[in-house]
Chains A and B, each alone.
Chain A
Amino acid sequence: MSAVTELNVQLDAEGFMTDPNQWTPEIAAVLARDEGIEELTERHWQVINFVREEYFKTGQSPTLRTISKKSGVDTKELYQLFPKGPAKKVARIAGLSKPKGCI
Chain B
Amino acid sequence: MSEQPRKLAIICSKGSLDMAYPGLVLANAARMMGIEASIFFTFWGMDIIAKKTVDHLKVTPVGNPAMHMPQLVGGLPGVTDLATTMMKRELERLDMPPVREFLEMLHDAGCGIYACRMAAEMMHLEKEDLVEEVDDIIGAMEFLEMAEGAQLLFI
Whether A associates with B in a native complex is: yes
A residues lining the B interface (CB < 8 Å): 63-66, 68, 74-76, 79, 83-88, 102-103
CA distance A39 to B26 in the complex (A): 31
A103 near B34: Cβ-Cβ < 8 Å: no
**A residues within 8 A CB of B32?**
64, 85-88
Instruction: Tell whether, in the assembled complex, residue A85 and residue B29 are in contact, meaning their CB atoms are under 8 Å apart.
Output: no
The answer on a CB contact under 8 Å between A66 and B105 is no
Q: Which residue of B lies closest to A68 (CB)?
A: B105
For the complex, give the distance between the alpha carbons of A76 and B108 in Å: 5
* Residue positions of B touching A, CB distance < 8 A: 25, 28-29, 31-35, 94-97, 105, 108-110
- Chain B residue nearest to A84 (CB atoms) is B34
Q: Which residues of B contact A66 (CB under 8 A)?
A: 95
Q: A75-B109, A79-B110, A103-B28 are in contact. Are A65 and B97 (CB under 8 A)?
A: yes
The 9 closest A-B pairs by CB, nearest first: A85-B34, A84-B34, A87-B32, A75-B108, A76-B108, A85-B33, A75-B105, A64-B32, A102-B25
Asked if A79 contacts B108 (CB within 8 A), the reply is yes
- Selected A-B contacts with CB under 8 Å, 21 pairs: A63-B95, A65-B95, A65-B97, A65-B105, A66-B95, A68-B105, A75-B109, A76-B108, A76-B109, A79-B31, A83-B34, A84-B34, A85-B32, A85-B33, A85-B35, A86-B32, A88-B33, A102-B29, A103-B28, A103-B94, A103-B96
**Smallest beta-carbon distance B113→chain A, Å:** 14
Q: Which residues of A contact B31 (CB under 8 A)?
A: 79
Where chain A touches its partner, the secondary structure class is helix
What residues on A are CB-neighbors of B33 within 8 Å?
Answer: 85, 87-88
In Å, the complex CA distance between A85 and B34 comes to 4
- Name the residue on B nearest A99 (C-beta): B32
Tell whether, in the assembled complex, residue A79 and residue B109 are in contact, meaning their CB atoms are under 8 Å apart. Answer: yes
* Chain A positions within 8 Å of B108 at CB level: 74-76, 79
Write the chain B residue with the least CB distance to A87. Answer: B32
Q: How distant is B149 from chain A, measured CB to nearest CB, in Å? A: 17
